[in-house]
Amino acid sequence: MTSFTFIVSESFHGMRLDQFLAAQVPGSSRAQCKQLIDAGVVLLNRKSTTKPGKTVQNNDVIIVTTTTLTPRPAISGADTKRIAQYLVAEHEHFLVLNKPAGLVVHPPSHAHTEIALTDLLTAAYPHIASIGQPDRPGIVHRLDKYTSGLLLVAQTPHGYETLITLFKKRAIQKTYFALVAGHAPATGTITNNIMRDPFDPRRMICHDFEGRVARTTFEAITYYQNCTLIKAMPKTGRTHQIRLHCAHIGHPVLGDALYGTATNGLDRYALHAHTLEFVSDGTPYTFTVPIPPDLTQFIEALPLKK
């Protein structure tokens, strides 16, 4: 048995107890937290409570005794301010962020102890803790940990449902820049189903018949001596799609050791989500962020193809 103690900050004042616990432990679900409360293992100000809908107050002390929860890392004031550095636009119903490479979007498992983007989000925007799925609050799509660029986050139920619907309808156009090994064709379309590798759950594989349909179009921007800067436009949103499709045609993304090889001088994938375009509630939106300095410096040092 392990005991975890949480002190309610002012930003969480008035939140439901089960929502508060889910916000503190994004690797758990709100339903799981409700079960803990129902089981009587949650103390509110040293008194047992079985009411998941009870609202918490500023400076309340909540103690949970369990074998199933892993607490999320503590978020400092400096960590909370990081979201402001990533903010591209703030809308009534959604946020647009420029995620840096190296930051995971949400905890991949209960045992994950790294600070995730969702930890920073719920610290800076506590209301997002109740939006969408409890283990990935506000998240409507994702970027891999070592990919940088534009990410949409819902901050209201309407925003969540709207964005989820747009993604399902493939009504959000995404453009990425990728630096790939070798000299890619000038243009191309990659259409191969994608499924999880049955022998390695970390990887996805292409398959002619099984899996989910996936399609990526691309065009070459600049040819370097040993690689190509391409613009990739995924028409579907499958896990690892651009990375896998590029590797499938023999031009893996630089820095991607899972589908290619590690690259000297890169501690990230040479992949950046550059543009998002969509129409929401009748209003068109276009968001663009440049390739970040670390990747720009790497690209500028490359010799051009002769």
Among all residues, which ones are annotated catalytic?
144
Helix or strand or coil: residue 236? coil
Q: Which residues pair with 187 in a beta bridge?
A: 219
Residue indicated by tokens 């589908």: 259
d(CA 152, CA 115): 19
d(CA 16, CA 94): 22
Question: What number of other Cβ atoms are within 10 A of residue 269's Cβ?
Answer: 28
- From the list 294, 56, 108, the residue with the least C-alpha distance to 64 is 56
Say if CB 135 and CB 106 are below 8 A apart: yes
d(CA 193, CA 210): 7
Residue indicated by tokens 């002769």: 306
d(CA 249, CA 243): 10
d(CA 134, CA 137): 5
C-alpha distance from residue 219 to each of 143, 223, 244, 257 (Å): 21, 11, 16, 23
